[in-house]
Structure 1
């Protein structure tokens, strides 16, 4: 009977998912990080099967390097679902190439440190990934609204999978210390592959949360884009005024976009193009208008008006008040009460 290692079965499952995504409707460019992640999980599963199923010992030099590529790629994949992260990631992207370089160096000069380096790498990136989604589904502000919950769950599972891999590496190290690697083959063929399979499947789920790019004709048609911008701004104004969302001190672009049912990038673009202001300034204009109404029509203190209108710090409130009215809150109240 032909022996088929379990890692080959996992690799086959991941390869099937990869082919399905390549043949799907999602553009390949938008899904590139997730496609690369699934491909890497497939390659690593094959390497594990050859190393521990068929005794190809030469792969012991390849497996640590492949493993070190996994955490940065997971982080990059989920960063692609966060609009504000794109610009930030560009300036530090080269740093994520260091793990495989460092791992290669350790193979030649300090192989005893490889297990500890992998554990630190996996746990560190798991924390970084959880930090991306620390505010919940709203953090994934460039994901499709109907898939954002599943994408956020995939993010948490991916971080847990990295921690599982770190725990597995620790178990392998302890097995070598206690029984000279007697159980390593069995452990590698089962425990670690659960992490790879989870990463591959969560990547598939999260990839489907990528928003499709707007049709080129919409972006090239200035009239259509202007009409779309006006419609978006009307929704935003309704939320800020009628539903008093501007008074929410925890309001963010992603929350505002989600309430409007519009991607955050479109909200930001519409506000920039039609008002000439950034989102923060636009929202603060509504807050200052409410603060002015309170200062003019009521006897509450300036501090109370600040909190009621949605501001949390005096410095920000005073700065924005002067930007809009050219006066301090107290001076504005005195001038407008005397009219």
Structure 2
């Protein structure tokens, strides 16, 4: 029987995830691109781990160390790109090539500190990601609002996973010191396989912005609102209703802030303090109210209503609809629209939920 290391199976699953992302033509390839690259690195690393621990080929260890370092840095670059109002450029992130360069130097000249260096790199980037997540979903100003909460969850998961990977490396090092590494293979098979699956799924969610179901993130209690907060919130309300910006599926906080000529953080603070919610929740509420009106006053299919309201993910649409109305869109329509032979009645007056 042919022996197939478990990491190879993980690489196959991640490859399927990558293909699914590539086939989803939702017009957001530029946002996905860094995460597609990140998942590609996860696939290569999983194959390398399978070769090293499945077939005990030690010569591939330098590549494994280099890939691990690049993955940590690339994860930070991907999520930091979602937190930037301006278009990220390679020149902005070149310092994050330095950890990989340091590993290359260690490999060539002095291999002993490599394990410690990788542990420190993973811990540093894990903490940096969790620090980036401290402001909640609105920190990811370039993420589509349809999936900002999911991207935020992915950010948190990736930060914790990097730190967990560092802890796994510490355990492996301890095993080599105390027991000659007899348990190292099992630890790697369990720890890295789980970590790569979690990281790959998180990258897929963040890159798509809307492929999984998740609970809405409740922001922390806001400080008292100021007059300026009220003015910003009122201007945002006027902009949303006058131009129906919420119907744009690619809308994000950065784009809203540019239209208002304000910093993204200023807009986020005003929405949080006045409405007690994140910007993504605020926009999704407007989208759901628009969907309710369409469900009652038109006979458009639910899928068309979803797209017309600004959603591109059925799971997100159904989740947000249930959050506000306590039922599915189909149930909502059946209860409020009297059915005649031709379909939805056209004279029903819409009442905001």
Q: Structure 2 length normalisation: TM-score?
A: 0.62
Aligned equivalents of 1:188, 1:85: Cα separation in 2: 39
CA contact (8 A) 1:257 1:263 kept: no
1:35 deviation in Å?
0.4
| Cα gap change, 1:279 to 1:28, in 2 (>3 Å) | closer
CA contact (8 A) 2:45 2:68 kept: yes
- 1:146-194 CA-to-partner distances (Å, cap 9, x unmatched) read 2111111111101111011100110111011101111111211221221
1:266 deviation in Å?
2.8
Is residue 2:6 matched to residue 1:24?
no
1:12 deviation in Å?
0.6
Question: How does 1:224-243 map onto structure 2 within 5 Å?
Answer: none
Q: How many residues align?
A: 243
The residue that corresponds to 2:176 in the other structure is 176
| Cα gap change, 1:46 to 1:204, in 2 (>3 Å) | same
- Higher Rg: 1
CA contact (8 A) 2:145 2:253 kept: no
Give the 3-state SS of the residue equivalent to 2:66 in structure 1. helix
CA contact (8 A) 2:138 2:253 kept: no
For structure 1, the 5+ residue unaligned runs are: 211-242, 273-277, 284-339
Give the 3-state SS of the residue equivalent to 1:201 in structure 2. helix
Aligned equivalents of 1:127, 1:54: Cα separation in 2: 34
- 1:256-302 CA-to-partner distances (Å, cap 9, x unmatched) read 99998553333333234xxxxx559x99xxxxxxxxxxxxxxxxxxx
Question: How does 1:97-108 map onto structure 2 within 5 Å?
Answer: 97-108=97-108
Question: How does 1:294-313 map onto structure 2 within 5 Å?
Answer: none
For structure 2, the 5+ residue unaligned runs are: 211-224, 268-353
| Cα gap change, 1:138 to 1:3, in 2 (>3 Å) | same
Stretches (4+) displaced over 6 A:
248-251, 256-260
Aligned equivalents of 2:86, 2:126: Cα separation in 1: 17
Q: Structure 1 length normalisation: TM-score?
A: 0.64
Is residue 2:260 matched to residue 1:271?
yes
| Cα gap change, 1:68 to 1:85, in 2 (>3 Å) | farther
